[in-house]
């Protein structure tokens, strides 16, 4: 028998005399004549039902039941002997019920619980008796102050005796101190004993005064308190359970991590050489490109940082940074696949590595971008010759999977100077120079400060453009489109202008390309399309209009990648209520050829709305004759570059004739742009061109000035005679025409 068991037995023998004595006292003083229906009902509820209405105090092993209040009630109404007998029977039944439910509870523990119950009830009765002299129903007749003090004494006596006895038993079992157990497990029970005494007092008063309203109020109050606290206790218990589960899982994970760490450390201790090798591999992976094996951006930046530090201290030599970007590499990925593109990148990397010297460095940044550091770059000619050499070697064909691939490169060059304090600055300038080379189709460009200023201005212009769209700074000008047959107004082309608040009127060639690159062209065009259609609707309602007017609006190739272009057009038509046939959307030849199949699909959907389609600047892009008959178009617009040189006797006149003939064959209308002289007008009328626009008729005008033009239907009648002119000579001989010389 161990020490704890011996102490438990000693504690049991200490309780036994007092507990048995209390029970004998209760049995000796019990009178059968006191038994009535109220007592039977109270005893039944206390003994058999109260144990089911139990609540476990949060974070304790103490279970509180309604039995506390019922025992207090029996003490007030029937005296100490009855209360003690009911309490002992309730404890016995509750212990038996817990054991029946599978709760591990030794018989010795049950006996100790019964003895503690008997002692605590006896002491409670004694405390009340010694303090107030009676515990029978006469107590209920006392004044309110005395009654309240009676309840307080009952609760405190019951709490003190019960909590001390239980704490002593738990301290023995857990081998802890009495104070620690009492403070941790039993102190919180004081509030419950006080509540039980109050409830018992209210019930006793209600029964004595036969005040059913008071009794119902008491029962309602107790039910609410009980349900609320039970829900609170359940929530706390569930939360504690979840927290314990989470803590247990964390502990298990921590233990697993510890085991893994121990295993890993053991492996490291057994293989020191392998660790050093893996470190080198990690370092190489962190600073080298996985595809080509060249140094990556991180390694390149670290090297540049050291060179800039040495240069600023005057201890290093001059160097140059070359930033390289492959031309049209995206086409290779899109057409042949990314694996094919990776093979090209590998061969480019090999060629660059073969070209650099031992003191130089080449690295791959990302995608198709490379960079080279040339040391001892004191001579500009040496660097440019190297750049030419790189461009020449990259331009040589690549043989990949029995296929020859040709690709070019654009190179930006930035020379080291004292102004560079950060690596990103020299890389930025080399990148800017590279984009200049790409824009101007040069092999290389050396950076100068003007390029940076232009880049900053472009950034400022982009910011201003975003605000311009929001603030309605964009304005439409309208250039008349004239029927060349009778020189009457047929419609307008809407041309956007930017009325900048500080720079004034900004021409489109300064911001259209920028809006394309940034994607702002899409919301900008939709907004301007709505404005143009509203304006057309107003003009067509004018009292002097007899003929229908059309409105031509340019759309970008970016719109074909937008899935809601057709929906946006339908919305504009519905809001402005114009006839769809009066709207023409102009798209450039190069834009539709970037993704011909997608363009055909989108254009067909637009045509279904009734809107007509024009191919703008026809002849200036790469050949689309094989696709032209597939496009759902209505109009071809001849670019001004061909019209303006018709009088020079060059081949452009023949191109104009061919385009017009092609349009007639395909049943398309033709509009000639850039008509500036009567001679050009005359030639176009001879060829049968149906419509034209240009400064000969009018410059692009703001909407208020167009209103005056609409009132003057005969303003162009005197420009050229109205003779009937055939489209082509019947014999097919064009040598007599002025531009065919």
Q: What pLDDT sits at residue 734?
A: 36
**3-state DSSP call for residue 689?**
coil
Q: Can you state the angle between helices 144-174 and 189-209, rounded to 10 degrees?
A: 140
What averages of pLDDT result for each successive group of 10 residues across the chain (741 residues)? 75 82 80 76 74 57 65 77 81 79 78 82 81 63 70 78 77 73 67 74 70 54 61 69 78 80 74 64 76 88 86 76 89 83 91 89 89 85 90 90 87 81 85 86 84 70 74 85 90 87 77 74 84 89 71 83 80 90 86 74 88 81 61 87 76 82 88 90 90 92 86 76 46 38 31
Q: What pLDDT sits at residue 736?
A: 37
Note whether 565 and 602 are within 8 A (CB).
Answer: yes
Q: What pLDDT sits at residue 226?
A: 60
Q: What pLDDT sits at residue 723?
A: 47
Q: Give the integer Cα–Cα distance in Å for 521 and 72.
A: 85
Give me the sign of the Cα torsion angle 258, 263, 269, 272: negative
Q: Are strands 701-702 and 635-638 parallel, antiparallel or unpaired?
A: unpaired
Q: Give the integer Cα–Cα distance in Å for 160 and 124.
A: 9
| Buried-state track 366-391, b at ≥16 Cβ within 10 A, e below 16 | eebbbbbbbbebeeeeebbebbeebb
Enter the tokens of residue 352.
């660059």
Q: What pLDDT sits at residue 739?
A: 36
Closest residue by Cα to residue 586 from 491, 713, 515, 517: 491
Closest residue by Cα to residue 521 from 558, 570, 477, 485: 558
Q: Give the integer Cα–Cα distance in Å for 350 and 328.
A: 20
Q: Are strands 701-702 and 488-500 parallel, antiparallel or unpaired?
A: unpaired
Q: What pLDDT sits at residue 418?
A: 63
Would you state the torsion angle of the CA atoms of residues 659, 661, 665, 671, taken in this order, to the nearest 10 degrees? 60
Q: How many residues does the chain have?
A: 741
**What is the Cβ-side half-sphere exposure of residue 122, based on CA atoms within 13 angstroms?**
20
Closest residue by Cα to residue 124 from 79, 186, 63: 79
């Amino acid at each position: 028998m161990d020490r704890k068991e011996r102490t438990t037995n000693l504690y049991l023998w200490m309780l036994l005399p007092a507990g048995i004595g209390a029970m004998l006292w209760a049995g000796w003083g019990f009178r059968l004549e006191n038994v009535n229906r109220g007592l039977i009902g109270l005893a039944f509820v206390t003994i058999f039902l109260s144990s089911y209405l139990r609540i476990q105090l949060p974070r304790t092993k103490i279970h509180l039941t309604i039995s506390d209040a019922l025992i207090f009630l029996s003490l007030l109404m029937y005296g100490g002997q009855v209360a003690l007998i009911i309490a002992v029977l309730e404890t016995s039944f509750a212990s038996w019920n817990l054991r029946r439910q599978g709760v591990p509870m030794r018989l010795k523990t049950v006996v100790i619980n019964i003895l503690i119950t008997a002692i605590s009830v006896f002491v409670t009765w004694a405390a009340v008796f010694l303090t107030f002299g009676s515990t029978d129903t006469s107590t209920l007749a006392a004044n309110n102050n005395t009654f309240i003090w009676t309840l307080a004494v009952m609760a405190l006596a019951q709490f003190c005796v019960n909590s001390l006895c239980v704490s002593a038993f738990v301290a023995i079992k857990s081998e802890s101190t009495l104070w620690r157990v009492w403070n941790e497990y039993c102190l919180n029970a004081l509030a419950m004993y006080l509540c039980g005494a109050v409830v018992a007092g209210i019930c006793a008063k209600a029964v004595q005064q036969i005040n059913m309203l008071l009794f119902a109020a008491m029962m309602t109050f107790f039910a609410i308190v009980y349900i609320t606290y039970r829900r609170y206790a359940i929530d706390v218990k569930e939360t504690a359970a979840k927290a314990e589960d989470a803590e247990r899982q964390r502990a298990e994970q921590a233990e697993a991590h510890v085991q893994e760490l121990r295993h890993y450390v053991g492996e490291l201790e057994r293989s020191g050489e392998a660790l050093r090798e893996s470190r080198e591999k990690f370092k190489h992976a962190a600073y080298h490109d996985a595809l080509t094996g060249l140094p990556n951006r991180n390694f390149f930046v670290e090297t540049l940082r050291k060179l800039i530090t040495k240069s600023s201290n005057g201890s290093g030599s001059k160097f140059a940074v070359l930033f390289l970007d492959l031309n049209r590499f995206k086409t290779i990925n899109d057409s042949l696949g990314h694996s094919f593109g990776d093979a090209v990148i590998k061969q480019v990397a090999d060629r660059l590595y073969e070209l650099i010297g031992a003191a130089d460095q080449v690295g791959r940044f990302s995608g198709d971008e490379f960079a080279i550091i040339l040391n001892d770059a004191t001579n500009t000619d040496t660097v440019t010759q190297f750049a030419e050499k790189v461009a020449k070697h990259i331009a040589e064909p690549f043989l990949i999977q029995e296929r020859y691939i040709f690709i070019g490169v654009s190179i930006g060059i930035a020379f080291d100077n004292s102004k560079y304090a950060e690596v990103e600055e020299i890389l930025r300038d080399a990148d800017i120079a590279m984009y200049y080379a790409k824009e101007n189709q040069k092999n290389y460009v050396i950076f100068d400060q003007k390029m940076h200023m232009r880049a900053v201005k472009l950034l400022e212009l982009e910011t201003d453009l975003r605000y311009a769209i929001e603030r309605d700074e964009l304005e439409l000008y309208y250039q008349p489109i004239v029927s060349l047959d009778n020189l009457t107004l047929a419609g307008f082309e809407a041309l956007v202008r930017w009325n900048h608040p500080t720079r004034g009127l900004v021409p489109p060639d300064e911001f259209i390309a920028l809006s394309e690159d940034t994607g702002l062209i899409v919301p900008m065009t939709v907004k301007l399309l709505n404005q143009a259609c509203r304006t057309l609707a107003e003009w067509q309602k004018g009292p002097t209009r007899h003929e229908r007017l059309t409105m031509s609006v340019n759309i970008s190739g970016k719109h074909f990648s937008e899935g809601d272009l057709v929906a946006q057009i339908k919305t504009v038509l519905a809001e402005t209520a114009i006839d769809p046939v009066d709207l023409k959307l102009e798209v450039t030849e190069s834009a539709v050829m970037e993704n011909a199949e997608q363009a055909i699909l989108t254009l067909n959907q637009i045509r279904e709305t009734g809107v007509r389609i024009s191919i703008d600047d026809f002849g200036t892009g790469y050949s689309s004759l094989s696709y032209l008959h597939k496009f759902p178009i209505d109009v071809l617009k001849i670019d001004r570059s061909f019209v303006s040189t018709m009088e020079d006797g060059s081949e452009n006149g023949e191109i104009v004739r061919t385009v017009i003939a092609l349009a007639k064959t395909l049943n398309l209308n033709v509009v000639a742009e850039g008509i500036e002289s009567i001679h050009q007008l005359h030639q176009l009328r001879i060829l049968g061109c149906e419509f034209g626009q240009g400064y000969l008729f009018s410059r692009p005008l703001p909407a208020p000035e167009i209103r005056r033009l609409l009132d003057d239907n005969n303003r162009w009648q005197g420009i050229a005679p109205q003779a009937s002119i055939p489209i082509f000579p019947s014999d097919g001989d064009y040598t007599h025409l002025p531009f065919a010389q």
